[in-house]
Amino acid sequence: MLVTMKEILDRASAGNYAVVAPNVFSELDTRAAIAAAEKLGSPMIIDLSVGSTKDIVVTGHNLVEIAEQTAVPVAVNLDHGGDVHKSFEEVTTEIMCAIKAGFTSVMVDRSSLPYEENVKETAILAKIAHSMGVTVESELGHVGSGSNYAEDGASMYTDPALAKDFVDRTGIDCLAVAVGTAHGVYTSTPKLDYDRIKAIKKKVGGLPLVIHGSSGVSHEDLHQASTVGINKVNMGFDFMDHIVKDLAKRDFSGANAYNIWQYIQEAYMEKALEMIKCLGSDGKTWKVERVDCTAASKLLGAGGEG
């Protein structure tokens, strides 16, 4: 059942567990992730970024339709809506397109801007999204690249006191924090700052926290993070890497080549099952009353026409 991400993360925060948010590209991986969630009775968050599709409205609308038919709570989230190279107007358009498509959550990412600009623009967009019943995630601190992990260092980590100010002034529903992870492939072993996670969690009054760049982080570290304040774990590369390694072991001679899509889906689901258990969201589903989470998209005139 389609729900808002706030519903999922508020429960996760209260229950001291996290929900994996796979970075998807298509209906294929979305169905695999949801199948894993249904098998283990877990909520699921589907993350789709602007850069992963040619048309965020068409693709997003398709994923929302899939989520509406599921037996477990599923949120569809716009990942990294906006970057430093885009104007405020361009970012606003991206986010409105996602809402039009029926996304139940959007990430307003203006973290590369000077702090006051980040606060101002995030607060405006959060107010717009909230007026349509859409959850808002935002980022504070800098989650850099795994290839520059050693160089970026702790100087880019989220400051707990600043996190409180940011949350208070923007009214966001969940905060992505920089606590030791990075996007992409790591050149050195990542180390999560658990004390910082705890301090941020306390400062923001228990608001759900998010980590990006979780691929390459050990299961032990991710599980520990889920027990001390992290409630959403974004992951992309590890899913792709798992598929590639699985396919490398397959026999594609003759008619077996026709099974490639089945193999991809099975491998993706296998990784999703693994992460659901790791983060402790298995068995955390709940009965969802059918509510219209797409009212905003209908108001904006979405119909999936493209």
Q: Is 195 a catalytic residue?
A: no
Number of alpha carbons in the 13 Å side-chain half-sphere of residue 250: 21
- Residue 80 marked ligand-binding: yes
Rounded distance, CA 262 to CA 300, Å? 36
Is 183 marked as binding a ligand?
Answer: yes
Q: How remote is the C-alpha of 173 from its chain's centroid?
A: 13
Query: Does the annotation list 130 as a binding residue?
Result: no
Residue 223 annotated as binding? no
Kindly name the residue from 79, 159, 193, 221 that is annotated as catalytic: 79
Q: Can you give the chain as a three-state secondary structure string?
A: CECCHHHHHHHHHHHCCCEEEEECCCHHHHHHHHHHHHHHCCCEEEEEEHHHCCCHHHHHHHHHHHHHCCCCCEEEEEEEECCCCCCHHHHHHHHHHHHHHCCCEEEECCCCCCHHHHHHHHHHHHHHHHHCCCEEEEEECCCCEHHHHHHHCHHHCCCHHHHHHHHHHHCCCEEEECCCCCECCCCCCCCCCHHHHHHHHHHCCCCCEEECCCCCCCHHHHHHHHHHCEEEEEECHHHHHHHHHHHHCCCCCHHHHHHHHHHHHHHHHHHHHHHHHHHCCCCCCCCCCCCCCCHHHHHCCCCCCC
What is the set of active-site residues? 79
Annotated binding site for Zn(2+): 80, 109, 139, 183, 212
Annotated binding site: 80, 109, 139, 183, 212
